[in-house]
Amino acid sequence: MAQAGWEVPARGLSRELLPGLGREPGRRRGRVKRRAETMVQQVLYRALVSTRWLAESIRAGKLGPSLRVLDGSWYSPGTRDARKEYLECHVPGASFFDIEECKDKSSPYEMMLPSEAGFADYVGHLGISNDTHVVVYDGDHLGSYYAPRVWWMFRVFGHRTVSVLNGGFRNWLKEGHPVTSEPSRPEPAVFKATLDRSLLKTYEQVLENLESKRFQLVDSRAQGRYLGTEPEPDAVGLGSGHIRGSANMPFMDFLTEDGFEKSPEMLRAMFEAKQVDLAKPLIATCRKGVTACHIALAAYLCGKPDVAIYDGSWFEWFHRAPPETRVSQAKDGKA
């Protein structure tokens, strides 16, 4: 079923985050519920906006310092050219967020976060300040691929007013919303980045967690790559497999066939089916810290805003971790 008009304001949170609801009769209960929802909204910003909402905002002339749109597309080398496609066709007013530019280029690993100063400088040049509502999308055929990574990047650097365009550019086009080839040239702004370390985990922390088991660990890659029965795509010297003790929730399963995010009820059932307890700490991992952000987004939509991402993910783990911590069903017996 399509979710084209579905948005997730904070009031869509699970009941357990609204203490006292269901016990107050009549009018008093209504007041308590409104107060509780107001308090939660101060913590959780709507993670999704609909294509209709964005189209109406653009039509109403709301794009500017208070609302910026980003195209966060990225594709494997030799497949599609994200920047070229942006220059040919994008949401009016959108800027191109080049994830290859906004990363730690000195790292030997694939897609590590930039420094606070690096991120602040990059998004500031896109006209984004700490008062800007940022809406991010990508052009992947699934509906969403890299957009949740950009969403998480803003959040890990302390910016809460950021949303993913539900359905992505795929559905923006399908629904006939306007597009342009004119590049956006916003006035630079000042952005102050403050790294929220609670949303980020390092190799050392994940290694320690194998013993302490304080966090649940969930891998978002396709099942074959997780098991080690299928190779890692476009990888030289990188075997497939997973970190010992991690569960598998392929990120594609969080999306409907039409490319929209599944409802919180469906997402919650998926976590329960995998015996992932959203009331407990959770680390998400993948190959390079990108699709892991789909797990963080799905949990957020269920009312859990504190999922941490292991930024180095399997790429770093494969090259650094003790062999006994890598699990694989590869025919050669190696992860």
Check residue 76 and give its pLDDT: 87
Same domain, 93 and 211: no
Total domain count, the chain: 2
Does residue 35 form part of some domain?
Answer: no
Same domain, 207 and 299: yes
pLDDT tens profile 181-213: 999 999 999 999 999 999 999 999 999 999 999
Does residue 17 form part of some domain?
Answer: no
Whether residue 16 has pLDDT greater than 70: no
Same domain, 155 and 205: no
Check residue 129 and give its pLDDT: 98
Nearest-CA neighbor of 199 among 113, 123, 264?
113
Does residue 9 form part of some domain?
Answer: no
Whether residue 29 has pLDDT greater than 60: no
Check residue 335 and give its pLDDT: 43
Residue 78: band (very low, low, confident or very high) from pLDDT cuts 50, 70, 90: confident
Domain containing residue 226: CATH number: 3.40.250.10
Same domain, 139 and 227: no
- Strand 162-165 versus strand 247-248 pairing type: unpaired
pLDDT tens profile 100-110: 999 999 999 98
* pLDDT (average), residues 53-64: 97
Does residue 19 form part of some domain?
Answer: no
Same domain, 145 and 247: no
- pTM score, two decimals? 0.87
Separation of alpha carbons 167 and 144, rounded Å: 7
Whether residue 37 has pLDDT greater than 90: no
Does residue 135 form part of some domain?
Answer: yes
Same domain, 80 and 156: yes
pLDDT tens profile 214-271: 999 999 999 999 999 999 988 888 999 999 999 999 999 999 999 999 999 999 999 9
| Identity at 286, one-letter amino acid code | C
Whether residue 333 has pLDDT greater than 60: no
* pLDDT (average), residues 51-76: 97
Report whether 51 contacts 177 (CB < 8 A). Answer: yes
Separation of alpha carbons 77 and 126, rounded Å: 25
pLDDT tens profile 282-331: 999 999 999 999 999 999 999 999 999 999 999 999 999 999 999 999 86
Whether residue 70 has pLDDT greater than 90: yes
Check residue 21 and give its pLDDT: 29
Same domain, 204 and 270: yes
Same domain, 164 and 90: yes
Query: 329 or 43: whose pLDDT is higher?
Result: 329
Check residue 63 and give its pLDDT: 97
Residue 44: band (very low, low, confident or very high) from pLDDT cuts 50, 70, 90: low
Same domain, 161 and 211: no
The three-state DSSP-derived secondary structure of the chain is CCCCCCCCCHHHCCHHHCCCCCCCCHHHHHHHHHHHHHHHHCCCCCCEECHHHHHHHHHCCCCECCEEEEECCCCCCCCCCHHHHHHHCECCCCEECCCCCCCCCCCCCCCCCCCHHHHHHHHHCCCCCCCCEEEEECCCCCCCCCHHHHHHHHHHCCCCCEEEECCHHHHHHHCCCCCECCCCCCCCCCCCCCCCHHHEECHHHHHHHHHHCCCEEEECCCHHHHHCCCCCCCCCCCCCCEECCCEECCHHHHECCCCCECCHHHHHHHHHHCCCCCCCCEEEECCCCCCHHHHHHHHHHCCCCCCEEECCHHHHHHHHCCHHHEECCCCCCCC
Average pLDDT value over all residues in the chain: 88
Does residue 180 form part of some domain?
Answer: no
Same domain, 167 and 53: yes
Same domain, 220 and 268: yes
For residue 142, the enclosing domain spans 48-175
Residue 286 is among the residues annotated as catalytic for this protein: yes
Which tokens is 254 given? 């969080």
Does residue 40 form part of some domain?
Answer: no
* pLDDT (average), residues 146-157: 98
Does residue 290 form part of some domain?
Answer: yes
102, 286, 293, 302: the catalytic one is: 286
Same domain, 166 and 212: no
